[in-house]
Amino acid sequence: MQSVNVSKSDLVGILTKNRKAHTDEYKKALLGYREEIRERSDGIMEASCKSDADIDTDHIKEMASKLYMLPEPEDHTDDYAQAIEMLDMSVDSSVPLSHREYKQYVRDEWDWSARLLASNTFYATKAGI
């Protein structure tokens, strides 16, 4: 099946639910991201506060590099908002969805889903959530 017509109101409800779940997961990931930054920053500070004879400059540079290369959690709330806004503007009571749109809007399987799951799961685990 290449496309399907769906109820606009049902689709808005599904997208709204999926957006809330995404936003909740993003907020958890932010807590873990903040904790990871704190841990890495503490390590850099600890290493740099040693006596001059004990400072391992290469170790400090490596830790700082890891801190700055830390990927941020991804927020795709706008993807959901745009779809909901477009549906709100539609005068039709049903809307056609392509196979791809159905996967994104109904099944919540976006092009970025796998990448988001990996990073947000890591950060949520750091936050102990």
- Predicted confidence band of residue 4 (pLDDT cuts 50, 70, 90): very high
At 10 the pLDDT is 98
The residue type of 5 is: N
The SS3 call for residue 91 is: coil
Q: Please state, in angstroms and rounded to a whole number, the distance separating the CA atoms of residues 104 and 93.
A: 20
pTM exceeds 0.85: no
3-state secondary structure 38-75: HHHHHHHHHHHCCCHHHCCHHHHHHHHHHHHCCCCCCC
Question: How far from the centroid of its chain's Cα atoms is residue 121's Cα?
Answer: 9
At 40 the pLDDT is 79
